[in-house]
Amino acid sequence: MQLTAANTAIVVDSTADFPEAQERFPNWRMVPLYVRFGDQSYRDYVELGPDEFYARLRTADELPTTSQPTPGDFLAAYEELAAHERIYSLHISAKLSGTFESARTAASELGDKVRMVDTETASAAITMLGLAIQRRLERGTTDEEIAALVERYKDEHRLLFTVDTLEFLAKGGRIGRAAKFAGQMLHIKPILTIDDGEVLPLKRVRGNQKAMQEFVSEFTEGSNDEPGLRVGIAHADAPERATALVKMVRDVRPHAEIETVTTLGAVVGTHAGPGTVGFFWFTD
């Protein structure tokens, strides 16, 4: 079967931090997770935008919690895309969230129309995989080619992030082996990645500038300056850090394309905490 942007849809969940999905691509949908303050529940991005979320986080007595979309939420999205013959459903690492399971339950209602992808990563890295698929759809592609792309993407895409405190990751139980890397004192910034679907510590440095320098040196070591190099940047209430990273990419890799600069939404923000910066790249 020849897959095109006309007959194939892409569904992401809101942890892809790509709220403009449907606006930019008529064949895309974003299914929101839920974020809850006390007993009030909001749909990520739809009912609670990042700015409002971080403002609220600053004054909240209790940290918010999150929950995955229901299978019904996914089914509604798939049904809305009924005119498409194929749906690629791309989700946050199943080791970090139950979202993938929820989507799979819904997809099983629709036979093999929906292709499920556990991206084994998070945030802008999900979006960037979707964009790579979209580029192929726009010129015409096949399931086999997409399957090969997904495998290569999991293998080759790089992701670095740093948080102001490990407290948020720890609260949500999403910290794994990074726990030993703590160090609340001394401006310690852990440099983290997601590997095999799990949060993993790489090293620790002191201060934001050092953390950014660390991103630069990993990026320059792990990439070539070529037009196929694609970069994503995401931040939680730290736009100045994202701006600094954009400038740094332009300096060291002038040919790279910065595909997305986004704010982490309420759901990812709940687990990473304000001040988090993520940096993603992939050569396609």
Part of the chain binding other proteins (CB under 8 A), chosen from 52-60, 111-119, 133-141, 198-206: 198-206
Q: Does 245 bind other proteins (CB under 8 A)?
A: no
> Which position among 23, 59, 184, 227 is part of the footprint of other proteins (CB under 8 A)?
184
Find the binder of other proteins among 206, 247, 250, 255 (CB under 8 A).
Answer: 206
Under the binding rule (CB under 8 A), the answer on residue 1 touching other proteins is no
Q: Under the criterion CB under 8 A, does residue 188 sit at the interface with other proteins?
A: yes
Dihedral, CA atoms, 169, 175, 180, 181, nearest 10 degrees?
-60
What does the block give as tokens for 44? Answer: 């990520």
208 binds other proteins (CB under 8 A): yes
Sign (positive/negative) of CA torsion 9, 13, 17, 23?
A: positive
Angle at Cα 176 formed by Cα 273 and Cα 89, nearest 5°?
75
Interface with other proteins in residues 51-80 (CB under 8 A): none
| 203 scored as a contact of other proteins (CB under 8 A) | yes
- Selected binder of other proteins within 112, 180, 227, 254 (CB under 8 A): 180
The pair of three-digit structure tokens given for residue 127, joined into one six-digit string: 């979006």
Positions 99 through 128 that interact with other proteins (CB under 8 A): none
- Who contacts 29 (Cβ-Cβ below 8 Å, separation ≥6)? 9, 10, 11, 12, 21, 22, 77, 80, 81
To other proteins, the closest distance from the beta carbon of 177 in angstroms equals 8
The residue within the footprint of other proteins, chosen from 86, 204, 230, 241 (CB under 8 A), is 204
Q: In 157-196, where does DSSP find H-type helix?
A: 167-171
- Long-range contacts at 24-28 (CB < 8 A, ≥ 24 apart): 25/134, 27/81, 27/84, 27/137, 28/130, 28/134
- The distance of closest approach from Cβ of residue 209 to other proteins in the complex, given in angstroms and rounded to an integer, is 3
Please report how close the Cβ of residue 167 comes to other proteins at its closest, in angstroms.
12
The C-alpha atoms of residue 278 and residue 273 are separated, in whole angstroms, by 12
Please work out the total of residues on this chain that contact other proteins, with binding judged by CB under 8 A: 17
- First-to-last alpha carbon distance for the chain, in angstroms, is 23
Chain residues binding other proteins by CB under 8 A are 180, 182-188, 203-210, 213
